[in-house]
Amino acid sequence: MKVLTVVSHPRTQSLTFSATNRFVQGLIEAGHETEILDLHRIGFNPVLWEEDEPDWSGKSKLYSPEVEQEIERMKQFDALAYVFPLWWFSMPAMLKGYIDRVWNQGFAYGSSRLHHQHVLWFILAAASREHLEKREYDKMIAHHLNVGLSSYVGISNSQVEYLYDTLNGDPQHIEKLLDKAYQLGLNYAKT
């Protein structure tokens, strides 16, 4: 399977990038092909301007060159993985802007749906599992990603996975988190 791995974090020397690299290692060892799309390093502009505003007239719309390029990139892959830190119980603005602009009307919804077989939302959370479960933030986030986004654009196989307590600097804890990232890649789309 060809998996587009999209990562959103401002620092390449972050746990998010370390987890991304281990995830990709697992993907490759499982026989998948992948490309890492680093939204910050490509200089993606997350701000939606008029040229990328959805066109509800029913006509086929050409979006900005940046968005058209990302639409073409997405078309080359069978599946998706998004790796990002949990900020304010949501995704970073960079990734939200990418989805706003690229998962656009006529490509991801409206007259067309995404063709991707699977999407993994791979989230790094500074909070503990108990903290996210306490007020059902985990259920809210999963519902938003699995139903509000994935199902809406035609991807029925959507999965949310977390690495918890990411600010815990204990080397053994970090290694367990990175091992989980590797296992997610190795077992991608098997659940």
- Report pLDDT digits (tens) over 85-132: 999 999 999 999 999 999 999 999 988 999 999 999 999 999 999 999
Q: From CA 62, how far away is CA 55, in angstroms rounded?
A: 10
Over residues 13-60, the pLDDT tens digits come to 999 999 999 999 999 999 999 999 999 999 999 999 999 999 887 677
Domain that holds residue 107: 2-186
**Predicted model pTM:** 0.96
For residue 92, is it within any domain? yes
Give the number of domains in the chain.
1
The conformational region for residue 189 under phi > 0 = left, psi -120 to 50 = alpha, else beta, is: left
Residue 89: which of 40, 136, 39, 157 has the closest Cα?
136
Q: Does the residue 191 lie in any domain?
A: no
Find all residues with CB under 8 Å of 172, minimum gap 6, and list them. none
Query: The domain spanning residue 142 has which CATH number?
Result: 3.40.50.360
Residue 10 forms part of a structural domain:
yes
